C-alpha cells in the first residue's frame, strides 16, 4: 500500500518515515512528484490547512495522503506566530531569523509571561475518509537560543520543556520520541489509516464504490 506524506521538508519526511516504519506501507513524499502543484495554505487554522493539503494532494496524485500543519503559539504575542509560523515576518525569512524575531519581541518579558506551545494537526484523506489528530507540547520561550536551530524546525531551539528543564532542540533522541507531537499524531492515526486502506483494497473490485461512498470524518484523540 502506498501513502503520501505531503511535504518537501526532508526533516519532516524522515520523522514521518520513522514513525510509520513498521506499517509496511510505501511512504512517498512530494519530492517523488515534481510536477505536482503546491496547495495554497489559505486556511485560518492549522486544521484547515492540514485538511486543504491532504485533499489537494490526493486530488492530484490519487494516493491516500497525510498532510500536517503546525507551528508555535506564544501567549504574550496573542497567539503569534501561529498559523503563519513560517511566513509571519512577511518575507522569506531563514529559520534563524524566525527564531530571533520571537526573542526580540519578548525582550524583557518575564518567564511567567513567556508561555508557549509547539504542535499541530495531521489530516488523512483517501477520497472518502477524513481522519485528524492534534497534539501540542507545552512550555515557555527561553530568553536566548538554546541548542542548534535545525533546518525546517526554527522554534525547537526556543521552546523550553519543563519536564526536562531543557529546550526541545537539546533533547536526547529518547526524550524527543517521548514528546514529539508529530510522532504522536502519526501513531494515533496509523491504526485507523491501515484499517481504511485495507477496507478500500478489499473493495477495489467494485469500480464505482469509491465514487458513490459517502465521505466520513473522524477526529482521533
Could you tell me the three cell numbers for 35?
510536477
State how far the alpha carbon of 77 is from the alpha carbons of 11, 80, 94, 189, 220, in Å: 27, 5, 20, 31, 29
Q: Which of 22, 69, 75, 95 is catalytic?
A: 69
Q: CA–CA separation, 168 vs 23, rounded Å?
A: 27
- Under DSSP, the state recorded for 113 is G
Strand partners, 26: 2
Q: Which of 146, 139, 138, 144 is nearest to 170 (CA)?
A: 146
Q: Are 51 and 132 in contact (CB under 8 A)?
A: yes
Q: How far apart are the first and last CA of the chain?
A: 25
Asked if 149 contacts 157 with a C-beta cutoff of 8 angstroms, the reply is yes
Q: How many helices (H) and strands (E) does the chain have?
A: 6, 8
Peptide bond into 81 cis (omega under 30): yes
Query: Does 69 qualify as catalytic in the annotation?
Result: yes
What are the catalytic residues? 69
Amino acid at each position: 500500500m502506498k501513502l503520501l506524506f505531503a511535504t518537501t521538508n526532508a526533516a519532516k519526511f524522515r520523522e514521518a518515515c520513522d514513525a510509520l516504519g513498521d506499517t509496511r506501507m510505501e511512504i512517498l513524499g512530494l519530492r517523488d512528484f515534481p510536477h505536482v502543484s503546491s496547495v495554497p495554505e489559505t486556511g485560518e487554522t492549522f486544521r484547515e490547512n492540514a485538511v486543504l493539503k491532504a485533499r489537494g494532494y490526493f486530488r492530484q496524485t490519487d494516493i491516500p495522503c497525510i498532510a500536517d500543519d503546525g507551528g508555535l503559539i506564544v501567549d504574550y504575542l496573542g497567539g503569534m506566530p501561529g498559523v503563519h509560523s513560517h511566513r509571519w515576518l512577511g518575507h522569506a525569512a531563514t529559520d534563524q531569523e524566525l527564531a530571533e524575531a520571537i526573542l526580540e519581541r519578548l525582550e524583557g518579558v518575564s518567564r511567567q509571561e513567556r508561555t508557549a506551545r509547539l504542535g499541530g494537526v495531521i489530516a488523512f484523506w483517501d477520497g472518502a475518509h477524513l481522519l485528524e489528530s492534534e497534539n501540542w507540547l507545552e512550555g515557555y520561550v527561553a530568553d536566548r537560543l538554546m541548542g542548534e536551530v535545525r533546518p525546517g524546525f526554527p522554534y525547537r531551539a526556543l521552546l523550553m520543556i519543563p519536564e526536562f528543564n531543557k529546550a526541545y532542540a537539546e533533547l536526547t533522541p529518547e526524550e524527543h520520541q517521548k514528546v514529539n507531537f508529530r510522532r504522536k499524531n502519526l501513531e494515533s492515526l496509523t491504526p485507523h489509516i491501515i484499517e481504511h486502506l485495507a477496507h478500500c483494497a478489499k473493495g477495489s473490485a467494485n469500480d464505482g464504490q469509491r465514487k458513490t461512498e459517502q465521505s466520513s470524518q473522524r477526529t482521533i484523540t
